[in-house]
């Protein structure tokens, strides 16, 4: 909520659960989503995603009407599912609830049961996701969908030696990197989810209405027999976490890691993979070395930066650490999610980093809006924004450069290709930060120094020697 107006959220730093759920389901092969609720939610979410990913986004709605709201939406949902099947022939359907469906108390499980009863022999897996918008942000919705998928497929517990990789919302380009990276270490992995193709598609001769990428349910069922789950989240609660679920239900060991950004993020990831049979290539060692080299190249410029980092909790945590490693002082770490664990994750190192430059005041904000972020940006002298394009107006108003590297990016193209993970992704952020500071100095130093020190040329009078 806002700090100026405590009863209002002013300029939200979050979206709602079904958006995250629908996004996650885009990473399942052959999957279409239908939001159980009224028409608007689905359309708004489609628009929001389409302008970030620059992809056609098709999400159905059960299009509840007044009638359905009063007497129950069963008929609408049944009809919606069969129409969706006619139009798209999906292998999987995710039924995500919205605020409305949850508030009127729809029993989605029973409706799905009825659908199967009425349509015996229909080869489509229907997964239900409880995602009322009031229950959380897109981040929680994303995990709710992953947890639902993991929990609702038939498990194949046969040990397969694979590694499960569970991610929060990362860009398709980052996902492609992650897949290549695991392959490069010689490891066989299952990705939950895999957005790499479906939300960053190719141009083809024939358009495929039902996207063809993503992880298949067959693969996902094998997660139960994997040798390890790596989950890139420190903040997902145990009951939202697929890793915890796979451990508790099928005994799959797990580690929860920060997103692989910065030196420590990457090192801990590589270390885990090495322990589980991954090989560290010469190229990777060189890449790490180049990254270290770049850190040194940029460190004096980065040290001038006072950053506000905002977005989903795991992104914020990882980005704050990347800042701290490079002497960029993160004076604001903010998330729109309710996330009591954020403070513990970043407080200590934010303080340590701030202390070097005698920065006294830093803020960690959870459940916050852009009104609060703007207020502290002004108060704390922020000179770098790291997050989504929803801060573009703060950027303009306060004249602060913005590194667009989190969802949503609506005012630039290429949201689907933003890189933040791995050494390369980290470098993308790092170089932009250093260059923002260089640009700032370049734009100002002549004038600043002139104003400050040039006092006219006394020997030649006011005009100088011309």
Partner 1 sequence: MANNILDERQCSISGVDQKGRGVACEKESVSGAVSQRACVYCGARVVLNPITDAYHIVHGPIGCASYTWDIRGSLTSGSETYRNSYSTDLRETDIVFGGAGKLTKAIDELAEKASPKLIFVYATCIVGVIGDDIEAVCRSAEERHGIRVVPVKAPGFSGTKTQGYKLACDAIMQLMLPHSGQPKQFGVNILGDYNLAGEMWIIKGYLEAIGIPVISTIAGDSSYGKLIRAPGAALNLVQCAGSSEYLAERMDGELGIPYIKVSFFGVEDTVASILRVADALGDPVLSANARDFAAKRTAEAMPFIEKYRPKLEGKRAAIFVGGGYKAISLIRQFNELGMKTVVVGTQTGKKDEYETIGALADKDTVILDDANPAELEQFMLEKHADILVGGVKERPLAYKLGIPFCDHNHERKHPLAGFEGIENFISEINLSINSPVWGYVRGCEEIG
Site residues (vs ligand SF4, CB under 6 A): 16, 18, 37-41, 44, 98-99, 133
Return the number of the residue (84 or 418) whose C-beta is nearest partner 1. 84
Characterize 272-287 residue by residue with b for buried, 16 or more Cβ atoms within 10 angstroms of its Cβ, and e for exposed: ebeebebeeeeebeeb
Q: Which does 444 bind (CB under 5 to 8 A by kind): ligand SF4, partner 1, none?
A: none
Contact, 349 vs 324, CB < 8 A?
Answer: yes
Q: Which residues 170-229 are close enough to bind partner 1 by CB under 8 A? A: 201, 203-205, 207, 209-210
Nearest partner of 137 among 320, 342, 330, judged by Cα = 342
88 interacts with partner 1 by CB under 8 A:
yes
Could you tell me the end-to-end alpha-carbon distance of the chain, in angstroms, rounded to an integer? 58
Provide the token pair at 311.
């977005």
Stretch that binds partner 1, among 2-10, 120-128, 167-175, 305-313 (CB under 8 A): 2-10
- Could you tell me the smallest distance in angstroms from the CB atom of residue 133 to partner 1? 4
- Could you tell me the smallest distance in angstroms from the CB atom of residue 411 to partner 1? 10
Q: Which residues 334-373 are close enough to bind partner 1 by CB under 8 A? A: 371
Q: Which residues pair with 402 in a beta bridge?
A: 385
39 interacts with partner 1 by CB under 8 A:
yes
Per-residue string for binding with partner 1, 43-62, x by CB under 8 A?
Answer: xxxxxx-xx-xxxxxxxxxx
Residues 6+ apart with CB under 8 A from 292: 263
- Rounded-to-integer distance, Cα 456 and Cα 463, Å: 8
- Please select the residue that binds partner 1; options are 41, 124, 145, 224, rule is CB under 8 A: 41
Burial class (CB in 10 A: 0-12, 13-18, 19+), 294: middle
- Could you tell me the smallest distance in angstroms from the CB atom of residue 401 to partner 1? 20
- Please select the residue that binds partner 1; options are 3, 72, 91, 104, rule is CB under 8 A: 104
Q: At what angle do helices 138-152 and 17-25 cross, to 10 degrees?
A: 50
Return the number of the residue (99 or 324) whose C-beta is nearest ligand SF4. 99
Q: How many CB atoms lie within 10 A of CB 383?
A: 20
- Could you tell me the smallest distance in angstroms from the CB atom of residue 373 to partner 1? 13
Provide the token pair at 191.
């990705």
Residues 6+ apart with CB under 8 A from 71: none
- Rounded-to-integer distance, Cα 215 and Cα 29, Å: 5
- Could you tell me the smallest distance in angstroms from the CB atom of residue 225 to partner 1? 33
Q: Which residues 12-31 are close enough to bind partner 1 by CB under 8 A? A: 12, 14-16, 18-19
Q: Which does 279 bind (CB under 5 to 8 A by kind): partner 1, ligand SF4, none?
A: none
Q: Which does 69 bind (CB under 5 to 8 A by kind): partner 1, ligand SF4, none?
A: partner 1
Return the number of the residue (121 or 206) whose C-beta is nearest partner 1. 206
- Please select the residue that binds partner 1; options are 27, 94, 133, 258, rule is CB under 8 A: 133
- Could you tell me the smallest distance in angstroms from the CB atom of residue 141 to ligand SF4? 9
123 interacts with partner 1 by CB under 8 A:
no
385 interacts with partner 1 by CB under 8 A:
no
Nearest partner of 171 among 193, 145, 195, judged by Cα = 195
Instruction: Kindly state the number of chain residues that form the binding site for partner 1, as judged by CB under 8 A.
Output: 78
User: What is the DSSP annotation of 268-290?
Assistant: HHHHHHHHTT----HHHHHHHHH
């Amino acid at each position: 909520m806002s700090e100026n107006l405590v009863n209002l959220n002013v300029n939200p730093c979050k979206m709602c659960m079904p958006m995250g759920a629908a996004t996650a389901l885009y990473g399942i092969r052959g999957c279409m989503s239908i939001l159980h609720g009224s028409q608007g939610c689905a359309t708004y979410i489609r628009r929001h995603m389409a302008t970030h990913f620059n992809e056609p986004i098709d999400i159905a709605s059960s299009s509840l009407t007044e009638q359905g709201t009063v007497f129950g939406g069963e008929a609408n949902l049944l009809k919606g599912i069969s129409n969706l099947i006619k139009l798209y022939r999906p292998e999987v359907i995710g039924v995500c609830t919205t605020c409305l469906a949850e508030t009127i108390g729809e029993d989605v499980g029973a409706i799905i049961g009825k659908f199967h009863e009425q349509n015996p022999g229909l080869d489509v897996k229907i997964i239900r996701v409880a995602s009322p918008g009031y229950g959380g942000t897109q981040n929680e919705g994303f995990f709710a969908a992953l947890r639902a998928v993991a929990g609702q497929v038939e498990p194949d517990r046969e040990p397969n030696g694979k590694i499960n990789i569970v991610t929060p919302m990362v860009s398709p380009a980052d996902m492609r990197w992650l897949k290549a990276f695991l392959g490069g270490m010689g490891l066989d992995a299952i990705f939950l989810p895999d957005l790499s193709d479906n939300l960053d598609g190719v141009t083809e001769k024939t358009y495929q209405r039902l996207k063809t990428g993503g992880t298949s349910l067959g693969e996902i069922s094998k997660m139960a027999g994997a040798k390890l789950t790596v989950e890139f989240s420190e903040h997902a609660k145990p009951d939202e976490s697929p890793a915890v679920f796979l451990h508790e239900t099928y005994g799959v060991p797990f580690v929860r890691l920060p997103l692989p950004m910065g030196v420590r993020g990457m090192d801990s990831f590589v270390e885990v993979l090495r322990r589980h049979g991954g090989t560290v290539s010469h190229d990777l060692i060189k890449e790490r070395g180049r990254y270290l080299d770049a850190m040194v190249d940029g460190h004096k410029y980065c040290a001038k930066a006072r950053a506000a980092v905002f977005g989903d909790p795991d992104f914020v945590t990882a980005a704050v650490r990347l800042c701290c490693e490079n002497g960029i002082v993160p004076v604001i770490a903010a998330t729109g999610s309710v996330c009591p664990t954020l403070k513990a994750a970043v407080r200590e190192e934010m303080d340590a980093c701030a202390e070097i430059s005698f920065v006294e005041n830093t803020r960690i904000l959870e459940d916050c809006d852009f009104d609060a972020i703007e207020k502290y940006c002004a108060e704390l002298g922020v000179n770098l924004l790291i997050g989504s394009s929803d801060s573009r107006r703060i950027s303009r108003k306060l004249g602060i450069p913005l590194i667009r590297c989190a969802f949503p990016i609506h005012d630039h193209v290429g949201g689907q290709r933003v890189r933040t993970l791995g050494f390369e992704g980290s470098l993308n952020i790092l170089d932009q930060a250093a260059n923002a500071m260089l640009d700032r100095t370049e734009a100002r130093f002549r004038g600043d120094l002139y104003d400050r020190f040039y006092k006219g040329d006394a020997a030649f009078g006011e005009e100088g020697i011309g």
